[in-house]
Amino acid sequence: MRDYLLTLCVTAAVTYLLTGPVRKFAIATGAMPEIRARDVHREPTPRLGGIAMFFGLCAGLLVASHLANLSSVFELSNEPRALLSGAALIWLIGVLDDKFELDALIKLGAQMISAGVMVMQGLTILWLPIPGVGTVALTQWQGTLLTVALVVLTINAVNFVDGLDGLAAGMVCIAAAAFFLYAYRIWYGYTIEAAAPATLFAAILMGMCLGFLPHNMHPARIFMGDSGSMLIGLILAASAISITGQVDPDALKIFEGSTRQATHAALPVFIPLVLPLTIIAIPMADLILAIVRRTWNGQSPFAADRGHLHHRLLEIGHSHSRAVLIMYFWSGLIAFGTLAYSVHSASGWIVMVIVALSAIGLVLLLLPRFTPRAPRWAESFVPPRYRRRGRTEEAVPAVAGAAEVHPVEAETPAEERVPVPAGVNGATAIGHRSRFTDRRKAGTPS
């Protein structure tokens, strides 16, 4: 575990330290597109954050290759090299897209080629665990087709959900954490070495997201762009392919009693990893809904719009930060709920906890205008919007004989307030300020 944590920390540190220089590079090269109709942000923000994330990936793989407990992954398996080859190709296409806005079909073709490069080097699905049947071996073309489809779906699911500050990086980090815990359990719990590459990929992916998030949280100073979203989507798919298509459930029958029992025991996580419907359920649901919505309206499935799940959260009244946190909550609930159920599928209390947390999530969705207030002892640790207003009002000393502040004036920034001449107060002062404000808006000199 220490080697994985060291790899994670090195990846996060390299990504975090390089994001600042990458931001300056993006500004210098003009990788700051104009505000589009579907965008939520109101100021041009540089892209190309995927550059820092890619070098974080390279640093993580380099460090892991020199660690005693992880070097065997590179000696016994070709999957790390396959991942790096596919990641380099998809990252390069993403960088070009962030700068020059490539056509959607070109990016789709690049995604398929990247998946094909990984398949040619051995990172492919070899078999599938089917409940009630056991392990079903796939032919070469079946494994290739399924692998390419999974990579393309996951990349576009992550790309589609990248619409709010910190949303894609946070949700992928949550999914990577679930992957890591499950793969680590298979690797060290069942001593199945085939799960070691997936464990390493998940740890590196967590480090990439954690290192980039401080720069990408609202208000974001830089976006990951397609160079980042497609990159982390590909790594997430590679982890799923490695743990699902490379780990043979027959190896679990030593611990579970039979092949069918082993397949049934692993079903809650194996099948979701093949068809990522739970671990990355939210991005996948957003992808499917977007395709159906655009096709129904006679548009291209790749045409951008403002109908994504995070856009709908904003439309019903949620703030930017709260919409992101709600998406985090549902992603974590589904991912870790599935993980907990796969470990203790016979425990009924896990289902009860998931149901209770789901009810809490529904309440949060239905109360978009509810603003939580932190207790007074914790106000110094939270943003100002979560502090109680009473404390601010008590901090303003009352001046005897001072005129009341009109509500309109209280909402006016200090630099825009108008000085009131001596001897003028009350309604006269309000009228004076109103006339001055009207003249400013009309463009006439005061």
Q: What tens digit of pLDDT does each residue of 122-151 get?
A: 898 887 766 666 677 888 899 899 899 989
Provide the 3-class DSSP secondary structure of residue 318: coil
- Bigger pLDDT: 256 or 192? 192
What's the rounded Cα separation, in Å, for the pair 423 and 343? 77
Higher local confidence (pLDDT), 293 or 112: 112
Cα-Cα-Cα-Cα torsion 47, 50, 52, 53, nearest 10 degrees, comes to: 150
**pLDDT above 50 for 268:** no
Per-residue pLDDT at 414: 44
- pLDDT for 386 equals 61
**DSSP assignment, residue 45?**
-
> Which position has the higher pLDDT, 227 or 313?
227
pLDDT-based confidence at residue 417 (cuts at 50, 70, 90): very low
Q: What percent of the chain has pLDDT over 90?
A: 30
How high does pLDDT run on average in the chain? 76
Total H helices, total E strands in the chain: 18, 2
Average pLDDT of the segment spanning 324-332: 84
Q: Residue 47: how many CB atoms within 10 A of its CB? A: 25
Asked whether 231 and 91 are in contact (CB, 8 A), the reply is yes
Look-up of token digits 């489809």: 149
pLDDT bracket for residue 357 (50, 70, 90):
confident
Cβ contact 272:129 at 8 Å: no
CB 55 within 8 A of CB 189: no
How much is the pLDDT for 399?
41
Backbone region of residue 276 per phi and psi (left: phi > 0; alpha: psi in -120 to 50; beta: other values): beta
Rounded to whole angstroms, the Cα distance separating 444 from 439 reads: 5
Confidence (pLDDT) at 349:
80
- Distance CA(99)–CA(82), nearest Å, equals 26
Residue 397 has pLDDT above 50, yes or no: no
Specify the higher pLDDT residue, 278 or 243: 243
pLDDT of residue 171: 87
10 Å Cβ neighbour count for 166?
25
Whole-model pTM: value is 0.73
Q: Residue 18 is encoded by which pair of tokens? A: 């390089």
Q: What is the pLDDT of residue 270?
A: 52
| Number of Cβ atoms within 10 Å of the Cβ of 408 | 11
In this predicted structure, the answer to whether residue 76 has a pLDDT above a threshold of 60 is yes
The most confident of 280-289, 412-421, 437-446, by mean pLDDT: 280-289
**Of the ranges 37-41, 211-215, 390-394, the best mean pLDDT one:** 211-215
What's the confidence (pLDDT) of residue 324? 83
Tokens read off for 301? 């499935």
Of residues 205 and 76, more confidently modeled: 205
How would residue 157 be classed by pLDDT, with cut points 50, 70 and 90? confident
Instruction: Kindly state the tokens that stand for 19.
Output: 């994001």
pLDDT, greater one: 337 or 276? 337
* Residue 228 near residue 212 (C-beta atoms within 8 A): yes
Spatial contact of 160 and 302, defined as CB atoms under 8 Å apart: no
- Residue 79: both structure tokens together: 């999957």
What is the pLDDT at residue 253?
Answer: 53
Alpha helices by DSSP H, listed for 66-166, are: 71-76, 79-100, 104-120, 140-161
Task: Give the best-scoring range by mean pLDDT among 251-260, 311-320, 330-339, 420-429.
Answer: 330-339
* 205-249 confidence digits (pLDDT tens): 999 999 999 999 888 899 999 999 999 999 999 988 887 766 665
Query: What mean pLDDT comes out for the span 153-177?
Result: 86
Pick from 241, 248, 239: nearest CA to 129: 248
Are 153 and 112 within 8 A, CB to CB? no
Q: Within 10 A of 313 (CB to CB), how many other CB atoms are there?
A: 20
Distance (Å, rounded) from C-alpha 257 to C-alpha 277?
28
In this predicted structure, what is the pLDDT of residue 104?
Answer: 86
> How far apart (Å, rounded) are the C-alpha atoms in residues 432 and 419?
9
* pLDDT (average), residues 26-34: 84
Q: Which two three-digit tokens encode residue 74?
A: 């590179």
Q: Which of 151-160, 340-349, 418-427 shows the highest mean pLDDT?
A: 151-160
Reply yes or no on whether the pLDDT at 57 is more than 70.
Answer: yes
User: Is the separation of the CB atoms in 237 and 274 below 8 Å?
Assistant: no
Contact 187, 144 (CB under 8 A): no
Q: Pseudo-torsion of CA 199, 204, 205, 208, nearest 10°?
A: 170
* Residue 83 confidence (pLDDT) above 60: yes
Q: How many angstroms separate the first and last alpha carbons of the chain?
A: 70
Tokens of 110: 């690049």
Cα(176)–Cα(206) distance, integer angstroms: 6
Instruction: Give the C-alpha separation, 60 to 73, whole Å.
Output: 13
- Which of 61-75, 247-261, 266-280, 297-311: highest mean pLDDT? 61-75
